[in-house]
Amino acid sequence: MAEKFAGDFRKGTTFEMEGNVFKVVDFQHVKPGKGSAFVRTKLKNVITGAVIDKTFNPSDKYPEATIEKREMQYLYNDGDLYYFMDNETYEQMPLNKDVLSDALKFLKENMNVTVISYKGNVFSVEPPMFVELEVTYTEPGFSGNTTTTSGKPATLENGYEISVPLFVNIGDTIRIDTRTGEYMERV
């Protein structure tokens, strides 16, 4: 297994430390006038999502962690199990609801997603950056109501609720940015 010096850390580098896998979110090489240089980092635990600040000696070595990303298609859910199909082997993989976290809000049957794993253990599912979903319920907009710019709640075809502008109606398909979870435009 390849090792990585802390002095070689860059954004996106993944490595193992204390039995966990971390991804470098931000880093800064510091060379003070007195004393030895060090590397100040912001790390994200890829399994739990927790973010920590940690300082390293540039000569510290850590085993590199190889994160696997596979494109899979979401098929359906049965209770708390969500079924995905590998686009190359056509194998089906059930994943527990808690692994999906925020991706659940944007899933739609037959949608391609990125399944992320470490040593065969799936820890995250990433939906596409933008998804298009149909509005199944929302209150009608009121003409002349221009004093509020906050919008109104709308229920989407997958059950997720989002705030949309007043002009969006039932049956409209809307585009959502999955990074922010916000309405972007009517399609």
Structure tokens at 120: 């065969």
As a whole number of angstroms, the distance between CA 80 and CA 98 comes to 8
As a whole number of angstroms, the distance between CA 53 and CA 48 comes to 15
List % helix, strand, coil for the chain (3-state, nearest 5). Answer: 5, 55, 40
* pLDDT tens for each residue of 130-184: 999 999 999 887 655 555 567 899 999 999 999 999 999 999 999 999 988 899 9
Number of domains in the chain: 3
CB 137 within 8 A of CB 88: no
Model pTM score: 0.74
Secondary element (H or E) of residue 115: strand 112-118
Domain end among 63, 94, 109: 63
Domain end among 42, 63, 84: 63
120 and 88 in a common domain: yes
* Residue 8: domain span: 3-63
